[in-house]
Amino acid sequence: MKRRDIIKTITIIGFLVSSLATPVIATAAETIKWKMVTTWPKNFPVLGTGANQLAKLIGEMSGGRIKVKVYGGGELVPALEVFDAVSRGTAQIGHGSAYYWKGKVEEAQFFSTVPFGMNGQEMNAWLYHGGGMELWTETYEPFGVVPAAAGNTMVQMAGWFNKEINSVEDLKGLKMRIPGLGGEVLRRAGGTPVNLPGAELFSSLKSGALDATEWVGPYNDLAFGFHKAAKYYYYPGWHEPGTTLEAIINKKALESLPKDLQSIVINACKVVNQEMATEFTAKNNAALDTLVNKHHVDVRRLPDDVLKKLKGLSEEVVLELAGKNKAAKRIYDSYDKFRKQVTKWDDISEREYLNIR
């Protein structure tokens, strides 16, 4: 009897040791399933595929413990209702840009892009090392969402126009798709800003419902075929010098994850933030060449007097936003202080190098 008891005890101990030494593999039932809603057309180059890449990275980095299903704009919720969907928990994560939610939290536009403001590299520096991320998190706190930078378009083009812009007078009455602070600047210049999701832009431009539209840059614009709907392609992108794209994460969903998975979600966003910026820089080059040399697009620079007028109006709009409330003032003060500091360095580094190159 004693011999049988000893053998039984050894067998149990062996089983326990074997179980502890064997890695635990998550089963399908244990997989955490998230939905991601986006403002972009399904699988749209860089923007939509960037959201797909974020979902893929979260899955891979978590070893399959989180599975994220991506929905394009309008599939699960309308493109411009992504923030609300994540806030109320319809989806656990969203991908868009902060200026789309200006009707809900106006000061959030500082975390997207500011006309004649910081470029993409400068925005990242402010967010990660200048206090911007802390202010952004604080701004979204009342809505139960956590923000993360998850892409950057870098400097954009001014847009596609079906009329020439030779003076400030040509902006009057111009009906143009242009979101965020840039839209308000156009309004004060006499134009009519319209905020439409990307999927509606080509048909609106082609039909004459819009006189002009901005979108991103050559790579995305070529994909949409805007050269078939407009005559002139203007630069520089004064209104969006470095637009930060964001992942917004439902706070309860994020905090319900183990600490390692929380870190994976946040750091996957950082990877995509860098990847998207470099992809735009790489692919805009070839796309511009195609637009000019294959499709014979008329690429033009906005006149100096037009840019001067737009810059003056931009300063008015930004200062007015900064005076809306205490939160907006704090964000603006941080943004403006960092911009002034980084400009001093850029003037003797990036600007001087580009000039001599």
Q: Is 70 helix (H, G, I), strand (E, B) or coil?
A: strand
CA 59 – CA 56 distance, rounded (Å)? 5
The residue with greater pLDDT, 312 or 198, is 312
| Residue 195, burial from CB neighbour count under 10 angstroms (0-12, 13-18, 19+) | middle
Cα Rg for the chain, rounded, in angstroms? 24
Question: Can you spell out the DSSP letters for 288-305?
Answer: HHHHHHTS--EEEEPPHH
Averaged pLDDT, 86-109:
96
How high is the pLDDT of residue 5?
Answer: 53
CA 84 – CA 94 distance, rounded (Å)? 10
How high is the pLDDT of residue 75?
Answer: 96
Residue pLDDT, tens place only, 136-152: 999 999 999 999 999 99
Residue pLDDT, tens place only, 225-243: 999 999 999 999 999 999 9
Identify the helix (H) or strand (E) that includes residue 284: helix 259-293
Domains of the chain: 28-154+242-281 (3.40.190.170)
Averaged pLDDT, 233-258:
98
For the chain, give the mean pLDDT: 92
Parallel/antiparallel/unpaired status of strands 192-194 and 175-177: parallel
Q: How confident is the model at residue 199 (pLDDT cuts 50, 70, 90)?
A: confident
Token pair for residue 192?
């009519």
Proportion of the chain above pLDDT 90, given as a percent: 90
Q: Which of 1-5, 211-215, 223-227, 249-253 has the lowest mean pLDDT?
A: 1-5
> Does residue 21 register a pLDDT over 50?
no
Indicate the pTM of the whole model.
0.88
The residue with greater pLDDT, 26 or 191, is 191
Please, what sign has the CA dihedral across residues 257, 132, 218, 286?
negative
Token pair for residue 293?
């040399």
Buried b (16+ CB within 10 A) or exposed e, 234-245: bbebbbbbbbbb
> Does residue 87 register a pLDDT over 90?
yes
Residue pLDDT, tens place only, 268-299: 999 999 999 999 999 999 999 999 999 999 99
> Do 39 and 95 contact (CB within 8 A), yes or no?
yes
CA 259 – CA 325 distance, rounded (Å)? 35
